[in-house]
């Protein structure tokens, strides 16, 4: 049985395809269109998935969509009627896309792909729940989903047992932790549905105390783990902007203009937002633990990308094992919808050999013509270890490496297939890469990638779930050894958003770091996504070359080609 999962029309459109219970391909539309967080119908991602299997769309047995559009439209219409006439302009502006696209999934599949087969629509938060639980390997688990909004739900609590998932409780729109974070993201002058992670990083520079009472006025929590907003401060139910004038009055400062100077109170507001999010989520998770009496937790939804929050769950709840999928957000909804549909229509279990490396791959004979076309100086290494020795030596000498190998990663994090790598031994490297390569805000930290077996030597891991490190979804404190040896990856609060790597997951990536360790005694380097600010992670060799040539990246490693900008001495 072949099942195609699709998510689109909000943000981070994507596609995923399963064959007989095995996830064989998945990718976000943005990687092909080069439009960050692309929300359009994922034509390119679908075509990639079909091409990977070598099939036409009419050979797909079921298409699974990640939400129920008619129920979502019902909510949009209800919003409009409740807030009319203030909502009139926004509703009219959005009506066309609903009538022409968002309610026309069957028509689009028929016209674009000549697909006339079965289509199922999976509730949004059920797709989120499935994307986590079915990949976790748990036989049972509490499941909590947290995002902006699906159809009506913004937060759900449920339980997974065997192959069954049951959602027991939900918090409904407009009360939403995802929208709270997005509203403050807008208030702080950043881009909604894109820059929330910047606010998370900014929070480490502030203190929550000055604005704690302000956030207590925004949100009320209850004993059952639910919460409610004071909507006088929020305009997103009727307007195309999110923070209201009352919010500006509450904080005592105007909305920060984009790209303007970040001041201390911005940092403190970000810190207070992060603290309030954690307070509400941990209270909810403690209620879930008492209800389901299991030590396993599956987390999904866009809020589950908050790696700072994830890093404190073990300390603040009784859960002992946590799973968050590599893409817990809307993009991951395509995978969740496909997996849930598999369990609904097939008796076969999901193939347990899951890897996040599910995107396109380019072989040497596809790469070399692009290098020649750009008249680049390159060396082809037929011996991989010789190549790794060369690259590790370059990293020791503080060269910045563009690393392009194998199948592209699934999800928003670079996991060693489309990465920029560098030494973390000197603190200055952070500023060098931010300024000359990534071209982004200087306050933003870089993630360390560490050989899995050495992680506890450098990080205060205790009983933290190692799988969260695999997908770069956890921030935890460094030990003194880490602060001393790899200062370029230490955030201002002494923490790091680590990626742990085991050889079984990505042998060449692991071997590179192991080779670097043999030269330096340090099993950690910088790993950041292969892109510049405002662009998606590179997907193709052409994009890798363009990024290499337009930035301060010193060396490009693409397949077994090592490309330099000038002859090395």
Assess whether 301 and 377 both reside in one domain: no
Within 10 A of 174 (CB to CB), how many other CB atoms are there? 17
Residue 141 lies in a domain: no
Instruction: Give the torsion through C-alpha atoms of 15, 21, 24, 29, to 10 deg.
Output: 10
Provide block-wise average pLDDT over 10 residues at a time, the chain (569 residues). Answer: 97 96 98 97 98 97 97 91 86 84 94 97 98 96 97 98 97 97 97 93 96 97 97 93 94 95 97 98 98 97 97 95 97 98 92 93 96 96 96 97 98 97 94 82 85 94 72 95 96 94 96 98 97 94 96 96 74
Assess whether 416 and 334 both reside in one domain: no
How far is residue 173's CA from residue 69's CA, in Å, rounded to a whole number? 16
Residue 569 lies in a domain: no
Confirm if 402 and 409 have CB atoms less than 8 A apart: no
Confirm if 525 and 516 have CB atoms less than 8 A apart: yes
How far is residue 199's CA from residue 512's CA, in Å, rounded to a whole number? 32
Assess whether 318 and 302 both reside in one domain: yes
Assess whether 395 and 418 both reside in one domain: yes
Confirm if 401 and 420 have CB atoms less than 8 A apart: yes
User: H helices then E strands: how many in the chain?
Assistant: 22, 22
562: β partners: 379, 557
How far is residue 116's CA from residue 110's CA, in Å, rounded to a whole number? 6
Assess whether 339 and 422 both reside in one domain: no
Residue 450 lies in a domain: yes
The three-state secondary structure class of 449 is strand
The three-state secondary structure class of 346 is coil
pTM exceeding 0.75 = yes
Cis peptide before 252 (omega within 30 of 0): no
Assess whether 179 and 291 both reside in one domain: yes
Assess whether 495 and 467 both reside in one domain: yes
Q: What is the CATH number of the domain that holds 421?
A: 3.90.870.20
Residue 431 lies in a domain: yes
- State the chain's maximal CA–CA distance in angstroms: 70
Number of domains comprising the chain? 3
Assess whether 318 and 374 both reside in one domain: no
Residue 350 lies in a domain: no
Phi and psi torsions of 159, nearest 5°: -140, 140
Assess whether 242 and 202 both reside in one domain: yes
Burial of 262 (0-12, 13-18, 19+ CB in 10 A): middle
Within 10 A of 309 (CB to CB), how many other CB atoms are there? 22
Confirm if 36 and 54 have CB atoms less than 8 A apart: no
Residue 121, CB-side half-sphere exposure with 13 Å CA sphere: 14
Residue 359 lies in a domain: no
Assess whether 295 and 428 both reside in one domain: no
> What is the structure's pLDDT at 495?
95
Residue that is last in its domain, among 292, 323, 354: 323
Angle between helices 124-136 and 330-345 (to 10 degrees): 80
What separation, in Å, do the N-terminal and C-terminal C-alpha atoms of the chain show? 56
Structure tokens at 272: 């207070």
The three-state secondary structure class of 12 is coil
Phi and psi torsions of 340, nearest 5°: -60, -40
How far is residue 412's CA from residue 473's CA, in Å, rounded to a whole number? 10
Q: Which position has the token pair 């998370």?
A: 200
Residue 319 lies in a domain: yes
* Closest residue by Cα to residue 120 from 75, 194, 66, 172: 66
Q: What is the CATH number of the domain that holds 157?
A: 3.30.420.40
Assess whether 341 and 424 both reside in one domain: no
| 124 Rama class: left (phi>0) / alpha (psi -120 to 50) / beta | alpha
Confirm if 566 and 549 have CB atoms less than 8 A apart: no
Assess whether 248 and 131 both reside in one domain: no
Separation in Å, CA 30 to CA 166, 261, 306, 539: 32, 30, 21, 9
Confirm if 322 and 465 have CB atoms less than 8 A apart: yes
Residue 142 lies in a domain: no
> What is the structure's pLDDT at 84?
86
How far is residue 409's CA from residue 480's CA, in Å, rounded to a whole number? 32
CA angle 406, 408, 412 (to 5 degrees): 150
CA 152 from centre of chain: 22
Range(s) of the domain holding residue 306: 153-161+168-323
């Amino acid at each position: 049985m072949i099942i195609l999962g699709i998510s689109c029309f909000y943000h981070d459109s994507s596609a995923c395809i399963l064959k007989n219970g095995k996830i064989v391909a998945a990718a976000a539309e943005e990687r092909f269109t080069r439009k960050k967080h692309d929300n359009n119908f994922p034509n390119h991602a679908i075509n990639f998935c079909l091409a990977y299997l070598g099939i036409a769309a009419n050979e797909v047995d079921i298409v699974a969509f990640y939400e129920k559009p008619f129920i979502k439209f019902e909510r949009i219409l209800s919003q409009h009627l409740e807030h009319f006439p203030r909502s009139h302009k926004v509703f009219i502006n959005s009506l066309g896309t609903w009538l022409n696209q968002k309610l026309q999934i069957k028509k689009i599949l028929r016209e674009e792909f000549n697909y006339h087969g079965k289509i199922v629509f999976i509730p949004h938060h059920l797709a989120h729940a499935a994307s986590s639980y079915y990949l976790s390997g748990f036989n049972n688990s509490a499941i909590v989903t947290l995002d902006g909004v699906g159809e009506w739900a913004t937060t759900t609590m449920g339980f997974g047992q065997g192959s069954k998932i049951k959602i027991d409780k939900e918090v409904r729109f407009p009360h939403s932790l995802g929208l709270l974070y997005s509203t403050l993201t807008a208030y702080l002058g950043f881009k909604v549905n894109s820059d929330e992670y910047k606010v998370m990083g900014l929070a480490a520079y502030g203190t929550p105390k000055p604005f704690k009472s302000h956030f207590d006025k925004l949100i009320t929590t209850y004993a059952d783990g639910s919460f409610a907003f004071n909507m006088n401060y929020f305009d997103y139910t009727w307007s195309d902007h999110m923070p209201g004038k009352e919010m500006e009055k509450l904080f005592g400062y105007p909305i920060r203009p984009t790209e303007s100077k970040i001041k201390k109170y911005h940092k403190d507001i970000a810190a207070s937002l992060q603290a309030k999010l954690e307070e509400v989520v941990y209270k909810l998770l403690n209620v879930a633990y008492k209800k389901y009496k299991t030590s396993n937790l599956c987390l999904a939804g866009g809020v589950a990308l908050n790696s700072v929050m994830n890093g404190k769950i073990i300390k603040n709840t009784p859960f002992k094992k946590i799973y968050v999928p590599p893409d817990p957000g809307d993009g991951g909804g395509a995978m969740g919808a496909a997996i849930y549909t598999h369990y609904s229509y097939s008796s076969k279990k999901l193939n347990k050999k899951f890897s996040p490396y599910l995107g396109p791959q380019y072989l040497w004979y596809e790469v070399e013509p692009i290098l020649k076309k750009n008249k680049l100086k390159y060396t082809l290494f037929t011996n991989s270890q010789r190549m790794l020795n060369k690259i590790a030596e370059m990293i020791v000498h503080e060269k910045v490496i563009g690393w392009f190998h194998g199948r592209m990663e699934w999800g928003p994090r670079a996991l060693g297939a489309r990465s920029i790598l560098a030494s973390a031994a000197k603190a200055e490297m952070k500023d060098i890469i931010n300024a000359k390569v990534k071209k982004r805000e200087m306050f933003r930290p870089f993630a360390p990638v560490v050989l899995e077996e050495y992680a506890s030597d450098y990080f205060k891991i205790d009983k933290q779930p190692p799988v969260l490190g695999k997908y770069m979804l956890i921030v935890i404190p460094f030990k003194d050894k880490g602060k001393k040896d790899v200062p370029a990856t230490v955030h201002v609060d002494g923490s790091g958003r680590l990626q742990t790597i085991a050889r079984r997951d990505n042998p060449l990536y692991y071997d590179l770091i192991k080779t670097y360790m043999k030269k330096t005694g340090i099993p950690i380097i910088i790993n950041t996504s292969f892109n510049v600010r405002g662009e998606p992670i590179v997907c193709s060799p052409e994009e890798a070359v363009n990024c290499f040539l337009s930035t301060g990246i010193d060396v490009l490693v693409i397949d077994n080609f090592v490309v330099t900008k000038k002859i090395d001495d």
